[in-house]
Amino acid sequence: MSKAVIDVRNLEKRYGTVHAVRGVTFSVEAGTTMGLLGGNGAGKTTTIAMMLGLLEPTGGGVSILGCDMATERYRALPFMNFSSPYVDLPHRLTVRENLRIYAGLYSVPGPKDRIAELAEQLHMEDFMNRPSGKLSAGQKTRVALAKALINTPKVLLLDEPTASLDPDTGDWIRTYLENYQQITGATILLASHNMQEVERLCREVLMMRQGTIVDRGGPAELLAKYGRKTMDEVFLDVARRTGAANGNQDEQGAA
């Protein structure tokens, strides 16, 4: 078995009386993709923010690439990156200028060549000199992914990487991510509401509800467990607290 690159242990986050994340524990093996699923407010974004060190956990901890993210995250951060279409880059800077800044932050060797390579690979040449604030939603998604790949990360945290993309472009991006992982051996945590994307990319899936993991397993395993034909149906079963595995969910959520 491959050594875990991501190790999350009993992660907790409270905001006053609100328990946003409760006892979340999981690990992700090297070179694999783990799906993190749940409805709005399930705790996915809060979990990812704590993994990045952007939020301080109330309890528990995170280790990435063998580094404790509470005390030595700056050892791991140069080899990590994050993508979300919901986090805007500075609007007045062009796409090229934004990518130059991130290339500098990560001390990317040959930044001009790396930016040109990503612009070509992600089909961004036509808007590289456009202010980031004047991009379409789909263009912002591609730029967010380019930013996340600028340092060729070993650990990639992706929040809705194909949001706002048309089906053809979304399929192309998924193929790109598959190839990137095959070439680099990167470990990926994927938060997505696109269940076809999850079925295609993820070896294992974590199902979250109300801040805790209520079920987990491979896509095929979950489909069989819930007696469903698609992951969309499994997602709805978990979100609505119905389905064949409901009793097991409650036990896991309380663990």
CATH number for domain 4-86+153-254, candidates 3.40.50.300, 3.30.479.10, 3.30.300.30, 3.20.20.10:
3.40.50.300
User: Would you give per-residue pLDDT tens digits along the chain (255 residues)?
Assistant: 458 999 999 999 999 999 999 999 999 999 999 999 998 889 999 999 999 988 999 999 999 999 999 999 999 999 999 998 778 899 999 999 999 999 999 999 999 999 999 999 999 999 999 999 999 989 999 999 999 999 999 999 999 899 888 999 899 999 999 999 999 999 999 999 999 999 999 999 999 999 999 999 999 999 999 999 999 999 999 888 754 444 444 433 333
pLDDT of residue 1: 40
pLDDT of residue 247: 42
pLDDT of residue 33: 97
pLDDT of residue 248: 44
- What are the residues facing 6 on neighbouring strands? 28, 64
pLDDT of residue 216: 96
Region at 51 (left for phi over 0; alpha for psi -120 to 50; beta for the rest): alpha
Taking the C-alpha atoms of residue 95 and residue 192, their distance in angstroms, rounded to an integer, is 25
Taking the C-alpha atoms of residue 66 and residue 35, their distance in angstroms, rounded to an integer, is 21
pLDDT of residue 3: 81
Taking the C-alpha atoms of residue 201 and residue 131, their distance in angstroms, rounded to an integer, is 32
Q: Where are the domains of the chain?
A: 4-86+153-254
pLDDT of residue 240: 84
